[in-house]
Structures are given as structure tokens and as C-alpha cells.
């Protein structure tokens, strides 16, 4: 049985995350991911771009970037602070 993932509170995640960078998936060059970096420039987690697009598909195009960033910040696993 797997454990339920716990996420950082939004305000804590916003302080913790320094950058969200769109990158190519090194295992699959035709796929994009969003890599999350902390203030020490360490890679702490990543998100599948296509899955995120599906999550925010009904958002107006001019709000999509903001909604993707908001989704990512709300889904930073609590274990990421230990990296």
C-alpha cells in the first residue's frame, strides 16, 4: 500500500520554489516537463507538461501560465524540502 502524498501549504511552497522551468524530458525528447528548483538551484521535483495541460485545459489562454504555476505550487510534495 502506498502512502498518501502530502503537499506543502501554498505560502510555504511559494517561498520554497525559486523557479519552474520548462524542459525536455531526457528520457523522451518529444515530451516536455516542468522542473521545480529551490533557492539553492537544486532540482526538487518535476511535473509532466501534458498532464498539467489536461488539468488546466478549460482556462482561458491568457491565464494558463498563471494557472499552471498555481497548480504546481499547490502540489509541491512536503519531502521536497529535504532535498
What would the pLDDT profile of 19-50 be if each residue is shown by its tens digit? 999 999 888 888 999 999 999 999 999 999 99
Inside any domain, residue 76: yes
How large is the average pLDDT for residues 57-75? 93
Q: How many domains does the chain have?
A: 1
Percent of the chain scored above 70 by pLDDT?
Answer: 98
Q: What is the pLDDT of residue 17?
A: 98
Burial 52-82 (b: 16+ CB within 10 A, else e): beeeeeebeeeeeeebbeebbbebbbeebee
Residue-range definition of the domain harbouring residue 47: 10-82
Q: Tell whether the model's pLDDT for residue 1 goes beyond 70.
A: no
pLDDT confidence bin for 3, thresholds 50/70/90: confident
Amino acid at each position: 500500500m502506498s502512502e498518501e502524498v502530502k503537499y506543502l501549504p501554498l505560502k510555504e511552497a511559494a517561498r520554497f520554489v525559486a523557479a519552474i522551468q520548462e524542459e525536455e524530458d531526457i528520457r523522451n525528447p518529444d515530451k516536455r516537463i516542468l522542473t521545480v528548483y529551490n533557492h539553492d538551484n537544486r532540482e526538487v521535483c518535476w511535473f509532466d507538461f501534458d498532464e498539467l495541460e489536461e488539468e488546466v485545459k478549460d482556462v482561458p489562454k491568457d491565464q494558463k501560465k498563471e494557472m499552471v504555476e498555481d497548480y504546481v505550487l499547490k502540489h509541491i510534495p512536503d519531502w521536497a524540502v529535504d532535498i
